[in-house]
């Protein structure tokens, strides 16, 4: 099957299992379905929720007038897109839903009708006519990892800014081509690292930067979730050509990116191990179930990350001289908690705003970047760096030895 087939209906139908009347399937199902959050559920169109949306900091500001909001089209209408992306684009202060992109006409019709998206603003994956859609400013790519490059390049060639799920691609080379395509077409590119906007993570980062935990010498980050070989959202994750790897790029990227964010530096040495236990259904025939990595930083500090497809745990431990902060869960869609332990005891830290803020906050953040030129925190360079680090981790596991990397994440030895 060709890559073009995989990225359109051929992939959608080749991996379909138990489709409902809407023709919902694993292809173009949200690229991060189930990653770092609630276990995958059925693909059902979700109407706008109308929930209030506090701002990232402080009280909710007056919403931007509709004519000044940035128009978004969502590319890929699977479980994650329908249940998390679409409702929160609708709830944005600076954003509005203006279009949909899918390879399944039935899905386009059902979701489009649910969200009031006119037929003229519904597009196939070839994105024909997208360039003429003046109401669409940004395309949010929420498809399987291997298809990100094609989706991003086509959107960029249509003159649209692009927001892409993580990992941004299946290889550093693909990530670089995406960056180059956006630069060549004069459009902006952002990567959906939502944990940078999750209230508990934001508060933990503030505490570290303010020195409230004392000197930080070690951070550990463990991100695991069960893989279900019968779930439509997980079928493509068992294929290395579509996912780019196993638990590491899928959910381990939360551990890797979060560790670097909290430490505020990129590791310079790493050693890794991967493990793929045998199952009767061969779910790990192509990808690893478990990945463990030890990391050393230029400052001399240490870190550890793990990812897995067996158990369910998303936890980050930040070890400071004056206190230990624990995020557990750390990066779920909701229900996250932050506790701090000192010699005086352990206290759960209250944060401002609901966990779900992470979704509309990152969307509005990119809208302000596009519209106002606000500084982008979740950059394509960050996404490319993480792809290079993932490549280095796999190289270390294969060699059974330490590998050295530069500030951009690329292997140096």
Spatial separation of the C-alpha atoms in residues 44 and 162, rounded to whole Å: 25
Q: Are 121 and 98 in contact (CB under 8 A)?
A: yes
Q: Which of these is catalytic: 107, 166, 188, 205?
A: 166
Could you tell me if residue 162 is left (phi over 0), alpha (psi between -120 and 50 degrees) or otherwise beta?
Answer: beta
Q: Which of these is catalytic: 254, 309, 333, 394?
A: 254
Q: Other CB atoms closer than 10 Å to residue 134's CB: what's the count? A: 9
The reply to whether 254 belongs to the active site is: yes
Q: Which residues contact 296 (CB under 8 A, 6 or more apart)?
A: 267, 268, 269, 270, 302
Strands 161-164 and 138-141: parallel
Q: Which of 148, 89, 11, 47 is nearest to 360 (CA)?
A: 89
Q: Are 89 and 53 in contact (CB under 8 A)?
A: no
Q: Are 129 and 103 in contact (CB under 8 A)?
A: no
Q: Are 85 and 111 in contact (CB under 8 A)?
A: no
Q: Other CB atoms closer than 10 Å to residue 178's CB: what's the count? A: 27
The reply to whether 166 belongs to the active site is: yes
Spatial separation of the C-alpha atoms in residues 291 and 398, rounded to whole Å: 12
Active site residues: 166, 254
């Amino acid at each position: 099957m060709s890559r073009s087939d995989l990225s359109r209906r051929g992939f959608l139908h080749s991996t379909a299992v138990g489709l409902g009347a809407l023709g919902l399937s694993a292809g173009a199902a949200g690229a991060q379905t189930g990653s770092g959050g609630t276990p995958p559920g059925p693909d059902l169109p979700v109407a706008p929720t109308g929930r209030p949306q506090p701002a990232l900091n402080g009280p909710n500001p007056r919403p931007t007038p509709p004519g000044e909001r940035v128009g978004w089209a969502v590319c890929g209408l699977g479980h994650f897109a329908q249940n998390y992306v679409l409702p929160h684009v609708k709830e944005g202060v600076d954003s509005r839903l203006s279009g949909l992109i899918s390879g399944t006409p039935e899905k386009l019709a059902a979701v489009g009708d649910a969200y009031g998206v006119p037929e003229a603003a519904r597009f196939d994956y070839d994105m024909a006519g997208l360039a003429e859609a003046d109401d669409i400013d940004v395309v949010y790519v929420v498809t399987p990892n291997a298809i990100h490059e094609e989706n991003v390049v086509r959107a960029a060639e249509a003159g649209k800014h692009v927001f892409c799920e993580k990992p941004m691609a299946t290889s550093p080379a693909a990530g670089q081509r995406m960056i180059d395509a956006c630069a060549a077409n004069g459009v902006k590119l952002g990567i959906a690292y939502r944990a940078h906007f999750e209230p508990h993570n934001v508060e933990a980062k503030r505490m570290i930067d303010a020195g409230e935990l004392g000197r930080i010498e070690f951070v550990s980050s463990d991100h695991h979730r069960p893989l279900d070989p019968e779930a439509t959202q997980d079928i493509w994750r068992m294929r290395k050509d579509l996912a780019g790897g196993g638990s590491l790029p899928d959910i381990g990227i939360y551990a890797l990116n979060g560790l670097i964010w909290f430490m505020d530096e990129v590791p310079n040495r790493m050693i890794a191990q991967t493990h793929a236990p045998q199952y009767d259904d061969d779910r790990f025939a192509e990808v690893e179930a478990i990945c463990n990595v030890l990391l050393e930083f230029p400052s001399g500090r240490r870190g550890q990350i793990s990812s897995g497809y067996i158990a369910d745990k998303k936890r980050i431990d930040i070890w400071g001289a004056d206190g230990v902060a624990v995020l557990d869960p750390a990066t779920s869609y909701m229900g996250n908690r932050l506790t701090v332990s000192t010699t005086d005891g352990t206290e759960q830290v209250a944060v401002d705003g609901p966990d779900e803020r992470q979704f509309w906050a990152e969307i509005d953040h990119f809208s302000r970047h596009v519209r106002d030129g606000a500084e982008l925190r979740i950059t394509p360079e960050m996404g490319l760096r993480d792809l290079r680090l993932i490549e280095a981790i796999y190289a270390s596991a294969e060699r059974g030895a330490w590998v050295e990397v530069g500030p951009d994440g690329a292997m140096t030895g």
